[in-house]
């Protein structure tokens, strides 16, 4: 199987971002002081990774449609998941960890989804 090089950067940024989201979720629930000290570095990095992911996605009709659909689903489910975790009966440590992971995923996927949406609209309007 031949791999395309243009999607290599986006796929690596995506894997790094999801890995960071999980690590951030675990760290913020078990070591809140450490996470709050580094949040000024970590969260802008997540936004930059999201933009890199969005800009590296090929905006042909199929790829952008699939990414926008799945990106919107991830954003919506993460937001509703955060709200439902807060009112659930899960243990405090588990719910805090899941809440933080969903929050970090939102920080990653919102800029990625917006970037792909803007690129798709620009391509559709031939700008």
Residue 40's pLDDT is what?
78
> Which residue, chain included where needed, has tokens 């243990």?
91
pLDDT band at 2 (very low <50, low <70, confident <90, very high): very low
112 vs 57: CA distance, rounded Å = 9
Residue 42 included in any domain = yes
- Tell me if 3 is assigned to some domain: no
In a domain, 2, yes or no: no
Q: How is residue 101 written in tokens?
A: 């992971």
pLDDT, one tens digit per residue, over 74-83 is 888 888 877 7
Terminal C-alpha separation, the chain? 34
User: Is 38 part of a structural domain of the chain?
Assistant: yes
Give domain status of residue 1, yes or no.
no
Q: Would residue 94 count as lying in a domain?
A: yes
Q: What is the pLDDT of residue 92?
A: 60
37-68 as b/e: b if 16+ CB within 10 A: eeeeebbebbbebbbbbbbbbebeeeebeebb
pTM: 0.78
- Domain with 18, as residue range(s), is 8-124
> What's the number of domains the chain is made of?
1
């Amino acid at each position: 199987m031949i791999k395309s090089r243009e999607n290599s950067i986006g796929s690596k940024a995506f894997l790094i971002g999801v890995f960071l989201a999980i690590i951030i979720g675990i760290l913020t629930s078990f070591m809140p002081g450490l996470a709050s000290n580094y949040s000024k570095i970590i969260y802008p990095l997540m936004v930059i990774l999201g933009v890199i992911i969005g800009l590296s996605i090929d905006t042909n009709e199929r790829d952008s449609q699939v990414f926008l659909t799945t990106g919107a689903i991830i954003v919506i489910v993460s937001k509703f998941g955060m709200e439902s975790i807060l009112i659930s009966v899960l243990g405090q440590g588990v719910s805090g960890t899941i809440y933080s992971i969903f929050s970090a995923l939102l920080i990653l996927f919102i800029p990625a989804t917006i970037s792909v949406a803007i690129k798709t609209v620009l391509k559709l309007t031939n700008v």
